[in-house]
Amino acid sequence: MTAAVVATGARALPARRKRLAPSALLASAACVGVIAVMGAPLALSFLASIKTPADASAIPPHYLPQALSADNYFKVIGYEAGLATYVANSGLVALMTIVACIALAAPAGYGLARFDMRGKEVAFLLLLAPIMIPYQALLTPLYLDFAKVGLVNTRVGLAIVHTILQLPFSIYLMRNSFEAIPREIEEAAMLDGCSSLSRLIHIFLPLALPAIVTVALFAFINSWNEFLAALIFMNRESSFTVPILLVSVQIGHHGAVDWGALQASIMIAILPCLAVYLALQRYYISGLLSGGVK
């Protein structure tokens, strides 16, 4: 708090410092208030997840746990097919989505950034088309196709749908990132006789590493969290992803919600997102800003 006051005060003209101090203080107080309001739901959910199961369903509820317990987590770990199955489903779908996005978007971004083809811009627009077509509309035909070739209830099938979602953003980002690489670097390699493919692998990809991290980060978070396609395509208990597990816990067995288990599964669902976001915050924000907001 003092740091904020000092920083704001230092920027102001010396004569005004006295008058600005109260407003800076007010702003700091407002920040603390905002942090409390925005942080409370997550904090309360975490605290509920470490209550005893009985305490988590207490009426009226308590804000803080009466006693600490990991029982809710054990319940989720043993839920139906077992938490490991659902986490593996979500994790593998996300991993395949990441790989597919990079494998498709890196060459496409390279082709768009460095080759001068007739009709290139048309191709670019075509590749961005999925932004304009809500994927929600494509789920019916995709479901029929996937049912025909046995891709319903498979991780590959869901990863394909998630790749559709992420591809336009990934290509846009890769193209911009490759275009920002100076031509001189590439020309030197051309004189050395590097083929265009090896230029992509040995020069462009390492230089565009931040963009690749951003592509992977968004692919992971959006795939891990995606709900509607997972709900439709993964309709067998053993193929549920984590978001579908959540709804399954919510509905419960006999109509009664197991609130403690629900909080524990929410914590499990959000933990990977919070972890990668906090670790790679810089990439996430830069992706958000440069991606023209998706």
Partner 1 sequence: MARSRSRGQAQGWLFLAPALLFVALFVIAPLGQLAATSMTDRSLLGGGRFIGFANYVKIWHDSGFWRALLFTVKYTLVLTPILMGLGFALALLVSDNTPLKRLTRTIVFLPVVIGLSSSSLLWFWLFDERVGLFNRLLVDLHVIREPMVWFVSADLAFWAVVIAITWKVVGFGMVLFVSGIQAIHSDILEAALVDGAGYWARVRLIILPLCRRVLLLTTLVSAIGSMLAFDQFYIMTSGGPRGQTFTAVYSIYQSSFVSFRLGYGAALSIVLMLIILVLSAVQIALTARGAEP
Q: Considering only residues 163-182, where is the footprint of partner 1 by CB under 8 A?
A: 163-164, 167, 171
Binding mask 123-142 for partner 1 (x = CB under 8 A): x--xx-xxxxxx-xxxxxxx
Q: Contact between 288 and partner 1 (CB under 8 A)?
A: yes
C-alpha to C-alpha distance for 41 and 176, rounded to whole angstroms: 38
Regarding 23 and contact with partner 1 (CB under 8 A), the answer is yes
Specify whether the CB–CB gap between 284 and 217 falls below 8 A: yes
Using rule CB under 8 A, residue 38 touches partner 1? yes
Cα 21-24-29 angle, rounded to 5 deg: 125
Q: How far is the CB of 59 from partner 1 (least distance, A)?
A: 5
Q: How many CB atoms lie within 10 A of CB 85?
A: 16
Rounded Cα distance between 6 and 46, Å, is 34
H or E element that contains 64: none
114 in contact with partner 1 (CB under 8 A)? yes
User: Would you give the binding string for partner 1 spanning residues 186-215, x where CB under 8 A is met?
Assistant: ----------x---x---------------
The yes or no reply on residue 243 touching partner 1 (CB under 8 A) is yes
Q: How far is CA 191 from CA 22, 110, 119, 157, 186, in A?
A: 64, 19, 28, 44, 9
Task: Determine, following the binding rule CB under 8 A, whether residue 110 of this chain makes contact with partner 1.
Answer: yes
How far is residue 205's CA from residue 69's CA, in Å, rounded to a whole number?
Answer: 47
Q: Which residues, numbered 55-74, are part of the site for partner 1 (CB under 8 A)?
A: 56-61, 63
Examine residue 1 and tell whether it contacts partner 1 (CB under 8 A).
yes
Residue 215, number of CB atoms within 10 A of its CB: 29
Selected from 54, 103, 190, 279, the binder of partner 1 by CB under 8 A is 103
Residue 149 found at the interface with partner 1 (CB under 8 A): no
Which single residue is written with the structure tokens 């951003």?
214
Residue 247 binds partner 1 (CB under 8 A)? yes
User: Taking CB under 8 A as the criterion, which residues in 211-240 touch partner 1?
Assistant: 221, 224-225, 227-228, 231-232
Bond before 60 cis per omega within 30 degrees? yes
Residue 108 contacts partner 1 per CB under 8 A: yes
Nearer to partner 1, 195 or 238 (CB): 195
Q: Does 35 bind partner 1 (CB under 8 A)?
A: yes
Shortest Cβ distance from residue 212 to partner 1 (Å)? 15
Residues in the chain: 294
